């Protein structure tokens, strides 16, 4: 139970830590205040607690697939806000612009609300078993510590670069995380039977298991699946291509405006 708790909480914390560390690094590179990001983290935790509290009712929506559809909407929302962030900074609209702050805050709130709700629900499920609860809490704290440490490491890795290189690195990671969000949204739609479940295209579990630490890190970064379906691969690659296209178009329009 201890190991299960470590892995489950680590998986959830890593995803949110990835988004937060990216934007923390961007504010540091931009030499701007991070106070609005701390507000977003707090709002995300409140939204997560609210989501967890009303989850039984939400799960009954749409003939029992309310949770899957809500999670899909959250992941698509994160993807759209990350795409908006890429558009703005590629158009040279950067901090302290209010719109840039708004899309960063929205992405963090959505990311933390979903992941924190999952953790709260998991822990609360053992509230009646005091013996198991101790093990679950210990494992959860270890998973939380590892996840936060990975986020801190990523943050320092990015700010150690020169500002221009750091911004490019952040953009690359935002594209990868955005693709991860759409891949996970696809999984929820398959669980809800809104997308057909097909045979896996490959099985790489013998190389990197989804349950190992490297597998969890890859899942947080790029929604690693050892047995992905064709629809997951297509939507993942398409979402990556769209984000790259947004960057290219924004930079092209920005360059054109200088000549006008």
Give which of 76, 51, 84 is closest to 186, Cα–Cα.
Answer: 76
Distance CA 105, CA 85 (A): 11
pLDDT at 260: 66
Residues with Cβ within 8 Å of 127's Cβ and at least 6 positions away in sequence, in order, are: 133
2 is written with which tokens? 């201890």
Distance CA 246, CA 88 (A): 10
* Domain limits, the chain: 1-258
How many residues are present in the chain? 260
Cβ–Cβ under 8 Å, residues 107 and 82: yes
pLDDT at 166: 92
pLDDT at 1: 62
Distance CA 27, CA 258 (A): 26
**H or E element: which one contains 23?**
helix 2-29
Cβ–Cβ under 8 Å, residues 52 and 117: yes
For the domain spanning 1-258, the CATH number is 1.20.1250
Per-residue pLDDT of the chain (260 residues; tens, 9 = 90+): 667 788 888 888 888 898 999 999 999 998 888 899 999 999 999 999 999 999 989 999 988 899 999 999 999 999 999 999 999 999 988 888 899 999 999 999 999 998 899 899 888 888 887 778 888 888 889 989 988 998 999 999 999 999 899 999 999 999 999 999 999 999 999 999 998 878 888 888 888 887 777 777 777 777 788 888 898 899 999 999 999 999 999 999 988 877 66
pLDDT at 7: 80
Q: Which residue has the tokens 């979402």?
A: 239
5: alpha, beta or left? (left if phi > 0; alpha if psi -120 to 50): alpha
Distance CA 55, CA 74 (A): 14
Distance CA 199, CA 66 (A): 25
């Amino acid at each position: 139970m201890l190991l299960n708790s470590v892995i489950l909480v680590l998986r959830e914390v890593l995803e949110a830590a990835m988004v937060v560390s990216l934007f923390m690094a961007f504010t540091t590179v931009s030499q701007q205040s991070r106070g609005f990001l701390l507000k977003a983290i707090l709002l995300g935790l409140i939204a997560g607690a609210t989501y967890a509290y009303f989850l039984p009712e939400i799960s009954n929506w749409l003939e029992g697939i309310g949770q899957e559809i809500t999670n899909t909407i959250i992941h698509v929302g994160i993807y759209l806000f990350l795409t908006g962030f890429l558009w703005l900074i590629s158009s040279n609209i950067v901090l302290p612009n209010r719109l840039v702050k708004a899309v960063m805050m929205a992405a963090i709130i959505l990311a933390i609300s979903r992941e924190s709700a999952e953790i709260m629900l998991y822990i609360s499920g053992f509230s009646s078993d005091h013996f198991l609860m101790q093990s679950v809490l210990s494992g959860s704290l270890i998973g939380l510590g590892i996840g936060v440490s990975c986020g801190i490491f990523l943050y320092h890795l990015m700010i150690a670069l020169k500002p221009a290189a750091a911004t490019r690195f952040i953009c690359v990671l935002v594209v990868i995380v955005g693709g991860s969000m759409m891949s996970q949204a696809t999984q929820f739609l398959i669980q809800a039977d809104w997308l057909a479940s097909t045979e896996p295209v490959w099985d790489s579990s013998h190389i990197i298991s989804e349950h190992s630490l490297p597998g969890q890190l890859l899942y947080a970064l790029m929604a690693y699946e050892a047995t992905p379906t064709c629809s997951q691969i297509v939507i993942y690659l398409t979402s990556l291509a769209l984000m790259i296209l947004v960057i290219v178009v924004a930079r092209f329009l920005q360059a054109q405006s200088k000549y006008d």
